Structure 1
Amino acid sequence: MRSRFTKQQKFDMVMECRSSGLSDYMWCKQHDIQTSTFYSWVKQLKRDGANVPDRTYAEAYHVDTKPDIVKLEIVDELPMEPAPVIPSITSTQCALEITIGKASIKVFNDANPKLLSQVMSCLGGRL
């Protein structure tokens, strides 16, 4: 496949990029050139003995030259509202019900943890 650009055109574009003040990434983005293509041009040109300036350290980061500006609206602090109170479950209400087939186990808040652990291990589980 024939190259889209001549060696001289590639050299001119690389020099334009390096003297633009933009990062290689931003310059390539603005000129619709893949960065991988651009860097292969640089490698080719250096291999052929062309004096291509190195990119600066800051250009290694793909940072836009224009910062994003966001307008913030400052509002007065709103009064804190108390968190909703979740009613506790009374001992007459079932806290947990496990049903396996026709068997049903109801666990209440005041259940003995040791007894619950023994029941669960009998069922093949752990607590």
Structure 2
Amino acid sequence: MDKITSDVRHQRWLDIIHACNASGLTRKVWCEQNGIKIKTFYYWQHQLRREVHDAQMAALPAEPEVTFAEVALPAPPKPVSYSAIDFWPATVIRIRILTIRVSNHAFREVLSLIRSVMKNAT
């Protein structure tokens, strides 16, 4: 089928689909009143929708290529070792039989964990 015939056929079916949608009738009733097989109607509706979709997809810009960049992480803090003799807690928390001794050098994560444990303990 040549391009002109194809364009005419597509335009004809586009007009039919628009007329059906504007009629206010169901597709089945409209097709029966206009002598069109419902399967043929749905076939052309599907074809035209696919063409519109394909054209829209072709018009979209290509997805950019994914690249990765190496990120240098800062060196972890040097661990501080304390012997039991050197350790002087800044805070001592006692709840019933639970005792928590916290140093001034405690990390935020540790303090956050202690807080969540205390919430569940009380």
State the TM-score, normalizing by the size of structure 1.
0.32
* Structure of greater relative contact order (alpha carbons < 8 Å, 6+ residues apart): 1
- Say which one has the larger Rg: 2
